[in-house]
A and B are shown apart, each in its own frame.
Chain A
Amino acid sequence: MTDLLSKFDPLIAEREALLDTGVRDPFGIVMDQVLSPTEAIIKGKKTILLGTYNYMGMTFDPDVVAAGKRALDEFGSGTTGSRVLNGTYQGHRECEEALKEFYGMDHAIVFSTGYQANLGMISTLAGKGEYIILDADSHASIYDGCWLGNAEIVRFRHNSVEDLDKRLGRLPAEPGKLVVLEGVYSMFGDIAPLPEMVAVAKKHGAMILCDEAHGMGFFGPNGRGVYEELGCENDIDFVVGTFSKSVGTVGGFCVSNHPKFEVLRLVCRPYVFTASLPPSVVATAAASIRKLMYAGEKRAHLWKNSRRLHQGLRDLGFTLGTETAQSAIIALMLPDMETTVRMWQALLELGLYVNMARPPATPAGTFLLRCSLCAEHSDDQVGEILGMFEQAGRAVGCIGR
């Protein structure tokens, strides 16, 4: 008998070799207590969280938590059903209303996760004989949406307008085309040149889906995302997003002005064939989204934090994924696995949690330590964070003494 798991032996061996060197498992962290959006207790140590995507710090907002408790009491712990059967409660509708208002769009569909939102939208929009054109650095949920559907899949080089134009130009004119973009690319924290890409997509008659998972809450005058900030509000056909970042809970969605949008509720398999979100989750999401409409001060503080951390890390001599702070993600580029894990562990022991990322999740075979800032990080915390990077970087030898 062939052991079906034997194909993972190389990965098991690599992991064992790494852990045998005595380092802690970067993918096995447990938060024993969570004190606030920016602090947790890990193995008895109070730790600043700098890798949570909790951009707007809504997870402990008193209004948000209260809305969740109320819904838990009034509607119970779960819906036990699909959105199209018994799983749409008044709270799901209210959450969709909140999204429509937040985005100023006619339609909103809530999915059970952000992953499923991409899986559902992409696999359903482009059918057999049609084309999906995606950025090579797209998130796994976008790729998986492509594999779930039957469309022809074409990739273009990351953020290259010229490459997108060339590839669209080589496709037959007649079939439907969906260009899939992301406002912020989460590995390096760089943003897409949306106006130029939109112009090219329109020129070739393609519809556009933009994933604003890492842009919602703090890009644009209304916090709608990079597409709003860059003035593409009338050009994006479908905006996909998540509740698990700025909104501070879990869930995914798509908003659109397309007049036939509602039909997707009937034909989108990742929407139909899964249970809907628990009432407490949609209630927290709706409360959070409504508060995010008026979160101008928080937005300003988040941008201040991002710019300060980016500049501070550069001044210390670290190599970063972007020239300037383009988003709330700041990626440190490190030379190899060993240095990356040692740096990650040194930071954790000082009391700072960041994300580690390695190939194949990262582009171009790079090793990264990724920081994501929160609007609730205080000025003092950002100062502490920079101090810890300096100490860890010198101890590990990533920066000069």
Chain B
Amino acid sequence: MSTRDEIFNRVAAQIEPFNKKKAALGDATSFAKDLEWDSLTVMDFVAAIEDEFDIIITMNMQAEIETVGQLVDAVAKLQG
């Protein structure tokens, strides 16, 4: 399994408890449109991702991340 696949799986595991709609997850899955998360859910989820990967995703970065794929790429980059 590639590093990106591994990150994807770990991100997906973090999405699970917040995925009330049981939406299918892929790179193109949108947090706002497909998962229908509000700002409060996003905040809790970002905190969970930050703790899972021991990184910081600033609010400035969050504004640029709309899909699961973009988040996986951002995590990969932040982990260096």
Residues on A lying within 8 angstroms of B by beta carbon are: 131, 136, 146, 152-155, 157, 163, 166-167, 170-171, 359-360, 363-365
Q: Quick check: is B56 within 8 A (CB to CB) of the other chain?
A: yes
In the bound complex, CA of A131 to CA of B56 (Å): 11
In chain B, positions 39-66 with a C-beta closer than 8 Å to chain A are 39-40, 43, 46-47, 50-51, 54-56, 58-60
In contact, B40 and A170 (Cβ under 8 angstroms): no
Q: Which residue of A lies closest to B39 (CB)?
A: A360
Partner of B51, one of A166, A359, A363: A166
Report A-chain residues with C-beta under 8 Å of the C-beta of B54: 170
In contact, B59 and A146 (Cβ under 8 angstroms): yes
Report B-chain residues with C-beta under 8 Å of the C-beta of A166: 51
Residues on B lying within 8 angstroms of A by beta carbon are: 38-40, 43, 46-47, 50-51, 54-56, 58-60
Report A-chain residues with C-beta under 8 Å of the C-beta of B51: 166
In contact, A170 and B60 (Cβ under 8 angstroms): no
Instruction: Give the A-B pair count, Cβ closer than 8 A.
Output: 34
Q: What are 26 A-B residue pairs whose CB atoms fall within 8 Å in the complex?
A: A131-B58, A146-B59, A152-B58, A152-B60, A153-B58, A154-B56, A154-B58, A154-B59, A155-B46, A155-B47, A155-B59, A157-B47, A163-B47, A167-B50, A170-B50, A170-B54, A170-B55, A170-B56, A171-B56, A359-B40, A360-B38, A360-B39, A360-B40, A364-B40, A365-B38, A365-B40
Could you tell me the distance in whole angstroms from the C-beta of B26 to the nearest C-beta in chain A?
Answer: 28
Report B-chain residues with C-beta under 8 Å of the C-beta of A136: 43
* Besides A154-B56, A363-B40, 10 other A-B contacts (C-beta < 8 A): A136-B43, A152-B58, A152-B60, A153-B59, A155-B47, A163-B47, A167-B50, A170-B50, A360-B39, A360-B40
In the bound complex, CA of A89 to CA of B43 (Å): 45
Q: Which residue of B lies closest to A170 (CB)?
A: B56
Q: Which residue of A lies closest to B54 (CB)?
A: A170
Most buried by A among B40, B56, B58: B56
Could you tell me the distance in whole angstroms from the C-beta of B44 to the nearest C-beta in chain A?
Answer: 9
Could you tell me the distance in whole angstroms from the C-beta of B74 to the nearest C-beta in chain A?
Answer: 14
In the bound complex, CA of A163 to CA of B39 (Å): 19
Report B-chain residues with C-beta under 8 Å of the C-beta of A153: 58-60
